[in-house]
Structure 1
């Protein structure tokens, strides 16, 4: 299972997760969690209708599907052959990933980076996943953060 948010760190995590799933002969579940504040619709003068969040969920699913396909294409045929399920989830991203990973063999998340002192710290989503997930968690750094030696 991998978390996806469209960031460069997420893209690297998806690539790692695709390779790992191909190596294990496993399915990859991609969780794209997004938190909507309760006032998001009324801020635009609209009632919060369930249809609008379902439409948003479908938009997110389409975007993530295209993103995963692009990453898979860059890793070749083996990655393209991995069965992928995309789960858009409305809610706190860390809580959604921890909950979705209850039956996973591995949870993969990217590191947000940030430069300087921020590079020494994990983001709040990655930290919460490490602390609360019931399966092993892999934090994948972006290429500019990989330490050699």
Structure 2
């Protein structure tokens, strides 16, 4: 909870259907709690830059982060348009940070009431083998974590 007594819910988004479901859940939960909502997206940067191999220079890091932030804002705008009653009651901020999704979200969990992430539904074995973002958040976040299962496809 913040100094002014208002709580904060953080949700990680990446543009996937799972992250949309997580954003919808986080918006509903923030409205129920009377909390703020922070929408956080991670801008994964390449491990190496190809300029050493004669390829064109990559865009500046700030430009990559801004592109990710704009995409997260567009997703947020779509969700809030679908739920205007909730969006009117919840202060929402959208941010993007450079880094891996797990590292960015674990950092964003510091001092907040809840972290919400989506689950892509790869299954238990596959998720464990891949080291899913959700699993890393559950293990290392400094607040409670809610993992939202994928929305079933309509028949």
Fold match (TM-score > 0.5): yes
Structure 1 segments, 4+ long, off by >4 Å, are: 119-123
8 Å contact from structure 1 (residues 73, 80) kept in 2: no
Q: Which runs of 5+ in 2 are unaligned?
A: 1-9
C-alpha distance in 1, partners of 2:88/2:69?
18
- Give the structure 2 partner of residue 8 of structure 1: 17
* Alignment root-mean-square deviation, CA: 2.1
Unaligned runs of 5+ in 1: none
C-alpha distance in 2, partners of 1:72/1:15?
8
Q: Counterparts of 2:83 and 2:126 in 1: how far apart (Å)?
A: 29
| Deviation by residue 1:78-131 (Cα, 9 ceiling, x = unmatched) | 2344211112011011011011111110000001113xxx26664610000000
1:93 to 86, 101, 110: 101
Q: Per-residue deviation at 1:39? A: 2.5
**1:27 counterpart residue number:** 36
TM-score (norm 2): 0.80
What are the residue-to-residue correspondences of 1:17-96 with 2, within 5 Å? 17-40=26-49, 42=51, 44-46=55-57, 52-96=60-104
1:139 match: secondary structure? strand
Counterparts of 1:32 and 1:40 in 2: how far apart (Å)?
A: 22
TM-score (norm 1): 0.83
Q: Is the 8 A contact 1:69 1:80 kept in 2?
A: no
Match of 2:149 among 126, 137, 141: 141
How many residues align? The count is 139
Q: Offset of 1:38 from its aligned partner?
A: 3.6
